[in-house]
Structure 1
């Protein structure tokens, strides 16, 4: 089944069955990008928990929750929710607060949707995998990049026979890597662990598992370029483009097959360069390709008040929440944002944290 299958969205009140939901976290990111998705998802938000009661109460007034708590154990015991959404921060020593919270939630009998990062180590992700399997409860990480319509369509293009095998993949993302002596410090590496989930999720989604890698590091900015070899045989590069202007599009993804390639720029513009013959060299009077091999360009219009030109859809927030809710309603495991994907991402994080630049390492 294609990954990009446009569907007509239902509004919250139109669902016959809604999941009893609680939310842990009342911060700015959740306010802007996660709570608003519930307008289009089968959830009944009954309670919000935050260490600040004032913030929890304020969020409850805006988003319609009936009760608020400052202790998540008390909320879980009293509410007995079907699902819990977690959007929290870090501990003082750099660990991910949501990791332990997710364990507490599934032990209490609810499914978990948690914002990235899943954890601060591979061992912690493996612990989540074990508790998820033991309890039979989903733990999904919000890997929004894999729900971008442009990235989902790119996946379909790459998987199509006419594209050929994926032979190389290049991803650019504006991230800095600290100096070598800081890479074992979770606090110093917090920006890396917070952001590596974005490009790494795309890489995993499109190219699968990495076999080995090496990287070079630019001291002035912390930029890196990593050379990747995938288990599929494809090669790739991850460019952490620290130092670029923040005034332009931040990201770029380019997938190359066998005679065809496709590019996603700015997360929304997808250009598919289909297989084409080179015009007669030295004699061709036009660059225009025949219809059957012409380049295809996909980009949204922003004139109409459509859902697709809202960032909650173009950036994948509603689609990922729907994926989670539909899996729970149907009694099945999630197939995207999985803990297994999070484990692959943490392997890449460990590579950057422990491998000297210029040295090849197995992933």
Structure 2
């Protein structure tokens, strides 16, 4: 079976103790059966506290999954004070579970090929995008497959620098809804929808849409709070979330005024300076997550909505962090941390995404107007 990956894929190197937000803290670390069996025969390194008889004694069951039981501070028990893995130091990389070995790599298996990508919930991946172009591969036969052709056209649209990342997503979502309304869309319909003439007319109409800045800012505020509530209740990502959500709640409880309006508009100009990085992030999400082995057109629409929610949470948390720090400019580190934390918080499976959208919205399939409200930048 053929395997494909973006050009940047092979440039990844774990930064280990230099990582600004380790993957060995504040989320589930699954342990596969083969690893658990090996761990039954291995004693924990002396650096691991509290000491138990075997490595397997550190495994617990959580939400029907066998995972490493984290310490009270939500750190992996094998993570040393120097932010290194005690298991690797003692036994080498071979002792790690599949999850620890593979992260942040992920593999998507289709009927005739496999695709490998890197997840943006690792800071080192964002660092690569800051310097490198992703270089997404062309998949043989994608122009004859409706869903893969849609993905290709959306990637091409996002790559156009004269179109803002938000405009590209707005146009793509409009086209997806249009195709969903047809009886049996075929690849030729996709090509027609993404023709230069159609795109020009669509983008012209999109740029005429004017939405109140206050409505977008407050809606994104609510989205962030909703995405973060469970993590805050569990005491996760407190260094990132606590002050951000406190300011978010204050904005939600108060009235939007001219000071906030001005601050939001200044932030959006700072945000715009990072269009290149945001564009790469969104393209990676489209390539990695838009199409799955069992996808249909409706699942693509739901995935686009999830990417919009993810984007809204990232932008809103970056705005709040930027406000708290009193930064004149939006620092790269502030943006990177927002991407890493929010993508860790939104790394849901397909079934969970559908359930979330069904529970959170009157209809899981949004109207285009709401999608536009979430993504709006306000007046350019």
Between the two structures, name the one with larger relative contact order (CA 8 Å, sep ≥ 6).
2
